[in-house]
């Protein structure tokens, strides 16, 4: 598939590729080991206008194509999955505002997200409500010109560090998913605080935690769209951001393949580089097949979105499912190519495998994606 990018976007991809190799990759192991949010990486992405890519020019962004955003996520994830996630979640947390916000709301929140001065989060998941969003318990009660929120959001990326938090809550508990509404809750709002911070297997530099709302009063003007439209906004957002997780998985897989291939060229056993052995050649070939197939699926979704199509939910689910499954298989095989060295933290492939696992889980588990695909077939 021939990829069509504007000249300035192609330059951006090349710049990010160099940046990832020279600035991001040397920090990746330390970010993983410390398990602390890499503010220096956030500042680097902001300084290079990378965080402005998902935002329209009229709000201070670059107005980049979806395809170019996916390619940038891929390049960053080759070096460091945590750093790539900064861009993914900036888009995820802000997209409900872009999709459903009024002009005043967009002017209020988007420019500082586009510059990277502010970070965003997306608050949908709860302790008892993961794949089943209808089991949501967080409530928002209208009182005059305000809403009062009570509840807990769980496993939220950028919890406690985001300035703008898109939060979904029940305004009509009797209506199920049709009673869910979307709100923006700003950092520092009384009654809103960070709960438990998770200690994770992978993407360890990304802060994941709880958003706790205890009689948290926000202006009614912070409602996105109308009451009851929250679930529709949430799904529309995920359809558009899910390919970014696929691109993250692709980058992880490509990074592992690149490292394993280079290692196989240098590692000598029985008097020759192990890449000369057919067993290793076939492993690397299968890794390359899976990685390239994932790339084509992901780029196809990007081009569909850029074409103005509104029917890409199936393709988005296919790309995310295939790429994340491939990332697990490719990183597992990369460890095998390195043998005992692959199991050691001195080499990056064990980190890549740990990072890859979450791509099968967040923004909709792969089991849920298969439901989406199957329902599309049934229609």
Backbone angles phi, psi at 346, to 5 degrees: -65, -25
Residue 378 neighbours by CB distance under 10 Å: 6
108 in the same domain as 14 = yes
Q: How many residues does the chain have?
A: 379
Q: Let me know if residue 337 belongs to a domain.
A: yes
Which pLDDT does position 1 carry in this prediction?
53
127 in the same domain as 110 = no
Query: Does residue 334 contact residue 237 with C-beta atoms inside 8 Å?
Result: no
175 in the same domain as 105 = no
User: Given 62, 90, 115, which residue is the final one in a domain?
Assistant: 115
Backbone angles phi, psi at 364, to 5 degrees: 100, 115
307 in the same domain as 372 = yes
74 in the same domain as 157 = no
User: Given 79, 96, 115, which residue is the final one in a domain?
Assistant: 115
- Which residue do the tokens 């509104």 mark? 310
Q: Annotated catalytic, 217?
A: no
CATH number of the domain where residue 250 is located: 1.20.140.10
The candidate with the shortest Cα–Cα distance to 56, out of 42, 72, 43, 69, is 69
325's CB contacts (< 8 A; 6+ apart) are 360, 366
CATH number of the domain where residue 91 is located: 1.10.540.10
> 127 in helix, strand or coil?
coil
> 153 in helix, strand or coil?
strand
**DSSP-derived pairing of the beta strands 139-143 and 180-186:** unpaired
- pLDDT tens, residue by residue, 59-117: 999 999 999 999 999 999 999 999 999 999 999 999 999 999 999 999 999 999 999 99
Which pLDDT does position 300 carry in this prediction?
97
* Token pair of 48 as six digits: 């290079």
Q: Let me know if residue 1 belongs to a domain.
A: no
Which pLDDT does position 133 carry in this prediction?
84
The candidate with the shortest Cα–Cα distance to 291, out of 252, 345, 335, 241, is 252
Q: Let me know if residue 173 belongs to a domain.
A: yes
279 in the same domain as 204 = no
Domain with 222 in it: 120-230
Q: Let me know if residue 184 belongs to a domain.
A: yes
Query: Does residue 239 contact residue 294 with C-beta atoms inside 8 Å?
Result: no
Which pLDDT does position 120 carry in this prediction?
98
User: Which of 9, 75, 210, 363 is the catalytic position?
Assistant: 363
Q: Let me know if residue 32 belongs to a domain.
A: yes
Burial class of residue 17, CB neighbours in 10 A (0-12, 13-18, 19+): middle
274 in the same domain as 170 = no
370 in the same domain as 334 = yes
250 in the same domain as 158 = no
Q: Provide the whole-model pTM.
A: 0.96
User: Given 213, 230, 247, which residue is the final one in a domain?
Assistant: 230
89's CB contacts (< 8 A; 6+ apart) are 119, 120, 121, 122, 157, 158, 206
Domains identified in the chain, total number: 3
353 in the same domain as 253 = yes
Query: Does residue 269 contact residue 93 with C-beta atoms inside 8 Å?
Result: no
155 in the same domain as 46 = no
Separation between Cα atoms, residue 220 and residue 246, nearest integer Å: 35
255 in the same domain as 368 = yes
The candidate with the shortest Cα–Cα distance to 115, out of 42, 52, 30, 183, is 52
- Report residues of the chain scoring pLDDT below 50: none
- pLDDT tens, residue by residue, 35-57: 999 999 999 999 999 999 999 99
CATH number of the domain where residue 219 is located: 2.40.110.10
Q: Let me know if residue 226 belongs to a domain.
A: yes
Separation between Cα atoms, residue 180 and residue 230, nearest integer Å: 5
Q: Let me know if residue 263 belongs to a domain.
A: yes
Radius of gyration of the chain from Cα atoms?
21
Q: Which residues lie across from 92 on neighbouring strands? A: none
The candidate with the shortest Cα–Cα distance to 229, out of 156, 157, 170, is 170
Query: Does residue 151 contact residue 183 with C-beta atoms inside 8 Å?
Result: no
Q: Let me know if residue 2 belongs to a domain.
A: no
């Amino acid at each position: 598939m021939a990829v069509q990018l504007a000249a300035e976007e192609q330059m951006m991809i090349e710049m990010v590729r160099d940046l990832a190799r020279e600035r991001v990759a040397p920090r990746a192991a330390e970010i993983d080991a410390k398990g602390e949010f890499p503010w220096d990486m956030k500042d680097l992405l902001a300084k290079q206008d990378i965080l402005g890519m998902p935002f329209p020019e009229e709000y201070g962004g670059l107005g980049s194509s979806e395809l170019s955003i996916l390619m940038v996520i891929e390049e960053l994830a080759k070096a460091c999955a945590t750093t790539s996630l900064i861009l993914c979640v900036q888009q995820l947390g802000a997209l409900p505002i872009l999709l459903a916000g009024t002009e005043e709301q967009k002017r209020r929140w988007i420019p500082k997200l586009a510059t990277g001065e502010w970070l965003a989060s997306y608050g949908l998941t709860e302790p008892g409500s993961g794949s089943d969003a209808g089991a949501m318990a967080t409530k928002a009660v209208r009182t005059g010109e305000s809403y009062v929120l009570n509840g807990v959001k769980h496993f939220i990326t950028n919890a406690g560090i985001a300035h703008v938090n898109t939060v979904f809550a029940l305004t009509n508990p009797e209506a199920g998913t049709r009673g869910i509404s979307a709100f923006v809750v700003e950092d520092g709002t009384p009654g809103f605080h960070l709960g438990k911070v998770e200690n994770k297997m992978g993407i360890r530099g990304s802060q994941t935690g709880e958003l706790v709302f205890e009689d948290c009063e926000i202006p009614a003007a912070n409602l996105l769209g109308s009451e009851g439209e929250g679930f529709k906004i949430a799904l529309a957002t995920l359809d558009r951001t899910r390919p970014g997780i696929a691109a993250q998985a692709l980058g992880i897989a490509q990074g592992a393949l690149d490292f394993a291939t280079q290692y196989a060229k240098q590692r000598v056993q029985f008097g020759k580089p192990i890449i000369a052995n057919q067993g290793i050649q076939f492993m690397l070939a299968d890794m390359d097949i899976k990685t390239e197939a994932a790339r084509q699926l992901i780029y196809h979704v990007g081009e569909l979105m850029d074409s103005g199509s509104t029917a890409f939910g199936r393709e988005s689910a296919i790309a995310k499912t295939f790429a994340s499954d491939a990332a697990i298989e490719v990183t597992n095989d990369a460890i095998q190519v390195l043998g005992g060295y692959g199991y050691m933290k001195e080499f990056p492939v064990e980190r890549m495998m740990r990072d890859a696992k979450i791509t099968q889980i967040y923004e909709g588990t792969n089991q849920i994606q298969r439901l989406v695909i199957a329902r599309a077939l049934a229609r």
